C-alpha cells in the first residue's frame, strides 16, 4: 500500500470515527434533554393530579366509614376525573386502570430511581421524595412510567406517557447524520487526495534523486523548501548525498594513493638496482684494487639485503591488508610478554651493539601475557624497535615496556614533527627520506605494524616531541600474571 493511500485511509477513517462518536454523544445528550423536558411536563401533571385527588379525598373523608368506602369512592372519583393514561392503587392493590397496559407496582417502587441522572434537567421542586420513574417497553412501545403515593392516604397513582417517537426520532437523526458523514467523507477523500499529493511531492522528488544517485550521479541534490519535517528529510538526504560523494572522492583518492605507492615502489627498487648494476659492471670491466673491490661487493651485498627486506615487508603488508584477517584467529595464543621482549632483543642485538644503544625492558603488573600471533607480534616489536634504533643517537636508551594500557616502545631520538604524525603510518612515507635510505629504510615498518595491530583488534598511538624522542604504544594488553 502506498504512503498516500495509508495517509488518506488513516485520516478519513479517524475523522469518520470521531464524527460518529461525537454524533452519538450529541444525540444522547439531546435525547436526555428532550426526555427531561417530557419528564418535567408529566411530573407536573402527576403532581397536580395527586394534589387534586388528595384535596377531594380530604373533603369527603368524613363521609367514608371504612376501607371499602374509601375504595369505592376512590375508584368512582378516579374514573370520572382522570384520563386513560393513569392507574389508581389502594394499599398496593389496583383499583382502576382504564389504560391498555398492566403495571407491576412492586417493580416500579424497586427500580424507580433509574432517572436520577435526569434530575439536572428537571425544574426545581418537581421531583420530590416518593416519586419514582422508569422507562418500560411493551409491545414494541417505550413508556415513561411515573409513580407517586398520594400524601396521607393509602392511594397510589401511576401515570405514563408513550415516548416511542422520541427514541425513533433520535435513531432517525443518527442514521441521517451517518449518511451525511459518509457523503462528507467522500468529499474529504477527494480534497485530501489532492492536498496529500501536493504535500508528498518533495518525497517523490527525493525518490527520483535517490534513483539518480544509484545510477552514479553523486552531485544531485533536492530543493529544501520551508521548515517542515519533509524539509528536514530533504536536508538529511542532501547531507547523505554529500557524504556519498565524499566517499566516492575518497575512493578515488585511495586509488590515486595506490598509484603513487606503486610509483614510489618503482623508485625504491630503481635506486638500489641502478647502484648494483653499476658496481657489477665496474667489477666485470675494470681491474680494481682489493680494497675497492671489497667496497663494491659490500655495497652490492648491502643493497641486495635492503631489497630482500623491502620485498619481505611488501609481501607481508599485502598479506595483512585484507579486511577479514583470515588465518590469524587460528594462530592466536596466550603469549608471555617477557619472552616476546627477549626474542626482539636477540634479533636486534647486532644493531644495538653497532650503535652503542641500551635496550631496557619492563613488564608491569597485570601485563604479563597477551593474546595474539607470536610471529606477527615479534614482527611488530622488531619493526618498532628498529625504527627506534634508527632514530636514536649513539649511546642512547630504548625502552620496551608493558603495562595495563598496552606495550610501548620509547626512544630518546630526534622525534617526529607534529604535522608529520598523521602521515607516518602511510606506506613508503619517511620523515627524513635521505637519512632513512642511508639507514636502509623504505617507510614500510610502521604501515606493517598498523596492519598487524588492526588484525588483532588493537590500535597504535604515537606520541613524539622533536628533539626529545618518540613513544609508540600498542593498546593490546588483556591481563595475566606479573613478570619482572
More confident residue, 465 or 269: 465
Q: Spell out the alpha helix ranges (H) of 286-373.
A: 290-320, 337-347, 349-355
Last residue of a domain, one of 173, 200, 230: 173
Last residue of a domain, one of 173, 188, 219: 173
Number of domains in the chain: 2
- CATH number for the domain that contains residue 456: 3.30.565.10
Please report the pLDDT score of residue 130 as a whole number: 73
Please report the pLDDT score of residue 429 as a whole number: 54
- Looking at the domain assignment, is residue 382 inside a domain? yes
- Looking at the domain assignment, is residue 121 inside a domain? yes
3 state SS of 73: helix
pLDDT by residue (tens digit) across 440-456?
Answer: 444 566 777 887 788 77
Last residue of a domain, one of 139, 173, 207: 173
- Looking at the domain assignment, is residue 187 inside a domain? no
Please report the pLDDT score of residue 436 as a whole number: 44
CA distance 282 to 228: 80
CA distance 371 to 365: 16
CA distance 343 to 330: 22
Please report the pLDDT score of residue 27 as a whole number: 80
Burial 65-77 (b: 16+ CB within 10 A, else e): eeeeebbebbeeb
- Looking at the domain assignment, is residue 39 inside a domain? yes
Instruction: Evaluate if residue 100 carries a pLDDT over 50.
Output: yes
Range of the structural domain that residue 380 is part of: 328-475
| Average pLDDT over every residue of 347-366 | 86
Instruction: Evaluate if residue 327 carries a pLDDT over 60.
Output: no
Closest CA to 2 of 267, 184, 196: 196
- Looking at the domain assignment, is residue 136 inside a domain? yes
More confident residue, 224 or 394: 394
Q: Which of 150-164, 348-362, 369-383 has the lowest mean pLDDT?
A: 369-383
113 secondary structure, DSSP code? B
Please report the pLDDT score of residue 4 as a whole number: 67
- Set of cell numbers at residue 407: 606495550
More confident residue, 205 or 482: 205
Closest CA to 401 of 416, 415, 384: 384
Unique residue bearing C-alpha cell 501536493: 198
- Looking at the domain assignment, is residue 199 inside a domain? no
- CATH number for the domain that contains residue 65: 3.30.450
Please report the pLDDT score of residue 348 as a whole number: 80
Q: What average pLDDT does the chain have?
A: 77
Closest CA to 174 of 365, 24, 399: 24
- Looking at the domain assignment, is residue 264 inside a domain? no
- Looking at the domain assignment, is residue 314 inside a domain? no
From residue 44, give the alpha-carbon distance in Å to each of 37, 50, 146: 11, 10, 11
Please report the pLDDT score of residue 376 as a whole number: 76
More confident residue, 387 or 121: 387
Please report the pLDDT score of residue 441 as a whole number: 44
Percent of the chain with pLDDT over 90: 3
pLDDT by residue (tens digit) across 21-80?
Answer: 888 888 888 878 888 888 888 888 888 888 888 888 888 888 887 888 888 998 888 888
435 pLDDT band, cuts 50/70/90, is very low
Q: Which of 214-228, 301-315, 363-377 has the lowest mean pLDDT?
A: 301-315
Amino acid at each position: 500500500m502506498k504512503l498516500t493511500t495509508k495517509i488518506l485511509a488513516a485520516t478519513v477513517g479517524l475523522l469518520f470515527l470521531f464524527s460518529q462518536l461525537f454524533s452519538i454523544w450529541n444525540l444522547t445528550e439531546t435525547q436526555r434533554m428532550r426526555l427531561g423536558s417530557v419528564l418535567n411536563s408529566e411530573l407536573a401533571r402527576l403532581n397536580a393530579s395527586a394534589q387534586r385527588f388528595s384535596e377531594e379525598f380530604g373533603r369527603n373523608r368524613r363521609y367514608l366509614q371504612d376501607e371499602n368506602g374509601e375504595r369505592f369512592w376512590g375508584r368512582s372519583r378516579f374514573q370520572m376525573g382522570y384520563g386513560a393514561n393513569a392507574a389508581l392503587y389502594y394499599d398496593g392493590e389496583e383499583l382502576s386502570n382504564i389504560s391498555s397496559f398492566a403495571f407491576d407496582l412492586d417493580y416500579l417502587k424497586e427500580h424507580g430511581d433509574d432517572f436520577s441522572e435526569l434530575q439536572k434537567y428537571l425544574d426545581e421542586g418537581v421531583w420530590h421524595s416518593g416519586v419514582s420513574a422508569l422507562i418500560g417497553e411493551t409491545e414494541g412501545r417505550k413508556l415513561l412510567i411515573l409513580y407517586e403515593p398520594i400524601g396521607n392516604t393509602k392511594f397510589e397513582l401511576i401515570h405514563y406517557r408513550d415516548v416511542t417517537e422520541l427514541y425513533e426520532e433520535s435513531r432517525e437523526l443518527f442514521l441521517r447524520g451517518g449518511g451525511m458523514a459518509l457523503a462528507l467523507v467522500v468529499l474529504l477523500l477527494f480534497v485530501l487526495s489532492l492536498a496529500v499529493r501536493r504535500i508528498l511531492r518533495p518525497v517523490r522528488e527525493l525518490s527520483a534523486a535517490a534513483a539518480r544517485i544509484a545510477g552514479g550521479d553523486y552531485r544531485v541534490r533536492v530543493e529544501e523548501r520551508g521548515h517542515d519535517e519533509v524539509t528536514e528529510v530533504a536536508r538529511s538526504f542532501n547531507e547523505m548525498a554529500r557524504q556519498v560523494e565524499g566517499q566516492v572522492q575518497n575512493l578515488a583518492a585511495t586509488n590515486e594513493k595506490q598509484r603513487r605507492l606503486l610509483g614510489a615502489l618503482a623508485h625504491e627498487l630503481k635506486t638500489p638496482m641502478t647502484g648494483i648494476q653499476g658496481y657489477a659492471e665496474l667489477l666485470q670491466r675494470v681491474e680494481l684494487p682489493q680494497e675497492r673491490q671489497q667496497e663494491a661487493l659490500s655495497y652490492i651485498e648491502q643493497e641486495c639485503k635492503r631489497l630482500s627486506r623491502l620485498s619481505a615487508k611488501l609481501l607481508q603488508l599485502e598479506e595483512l591488508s585484507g579486511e577479514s584477517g583470515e588465518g590469524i584467529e587460528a594462530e592466536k595464543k596466550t603469549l608471555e610478554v617477557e619472552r616476546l621482549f627477549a626474542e626482539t632483543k636477540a634479533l636486534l642485538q647486532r644493531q644495538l651493539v653497532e650503535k652503542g644503544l641500551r635496550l631496557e625492558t619492563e613488564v608491569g603488573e597485570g601485563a604479563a601475557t597477551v593474546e595474539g600471533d607470536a610471529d606477527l607480534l615479534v614482527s611488530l616489536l622488531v619493526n618498532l624497535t628498529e625504527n627506534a634504533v634508527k632514530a636514536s643517537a649513539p649511546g642512547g636508551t630504548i625502552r620496551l615496556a608493558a603495562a595495563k594500557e598496552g606495550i610501548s616502545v620509547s626512544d630518546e631520538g630526534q622525534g617526529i614533527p607534529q604535522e608529520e604524525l598523521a602521515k607516518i603510518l602511510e606506506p613508503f612515507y619517511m620523515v627524513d627520506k635521505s637519512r632513512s635510505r642511508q639507514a636502509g629504510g623504505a617507510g614500510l615498518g610502521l604501515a606493517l605494524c598498523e596492519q598487524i595491530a588492526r588484525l588483532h583488534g588493537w590500535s597504535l598511538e604515537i606520541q613524539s616531541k622533536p628533539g626529545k624522542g618518540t613513544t609508540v604504544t600498542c593498546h593490546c594488553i588483556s591481563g595475566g600474571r606479573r613478570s619482572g
